[in-house]
Amino acid sequence: MKNYSVQIMEDMQKIKNIENKYGTMMFGMSLSHLVDVGHRNVTDENVEESIQKIMAQGEKDKCNGKMPIMTPEFQCGILRCAAELSKFSIWTLFAYIKEYIVV
């Protein structure tokens, strides 16, 4: 197994316990549902509305001297990327993750 942190290993075991509790089929369908709910809710309208809120909050924070960990522009980039990814089926995304995402 890869060199994961202790916390990640503990979390992976917790996830494995959930899979064991519900069974592989229900577990897989639950992951699919979890991703699908988010997938369906990332619409162009929702993204633009969220971007406007993020940018307004960023201006407010700047005026109040707050420095966020992520800039508003970076947060908006995440939303725009998610919106582009939402055009693919969740199964295509899972296949991509399995093939190309290394943790």
In a domain, 46, yes or no: yes
Residue-range definition of the domain harbouring residue 44: 35-103
In a domain, 87, yes or no: yes
Are 96 and 67 in contact by the 8 Å Cβ rule? The answer is: no
pLDDT at 54: 94
> Residue 85 contacts by C-beta under 8 Å, 6 or more apart in sequence?
42, 93
Question: How does DSSP assign 8-71, residue by residue?
Answer: HHHHHHHHHHHHHHH-HHHHHHHHHHHHHHHHHH--HHHHHHHHHHHHHHHHHHHHTT---SS-
Q: Averaged over 29-39, what is the pLDDT?
A: 86
Are 87 and 43 in contact by the 8 Å Cβ rule? The answer is: no
Q: Averaged over 43-61, what is the pLDDT?
A: 91
Structural domain count, the chain: 1
Q: Averaged over 12-16, what is the pLDDT?
A: 88
pLDDT tens digits, 55-96? 999 999 999 999 888 899 999 999 898 888 888 888 888 888
If one compares 17 and 41, the residue with the highest pLDDT of the two is 17
In a domain, 22, yes or no: no
Q: Averaged over 20-33, what is the pLDDT?
A: 88
Q: How far apart are CA 33 and CA 53, in angstroms?
A: 27
pLDDT band (50, 70, 90) for residue 31: confident
In a domain, 24, yes or no: no
In a domain, 6, yes or no: no
Are 79 and 49 in contact by the 8 Å Cβ rule? The answer is: no
Q: Is the pLDDT of residue 4 over 70?
A: no
pLDDT at 93: 87
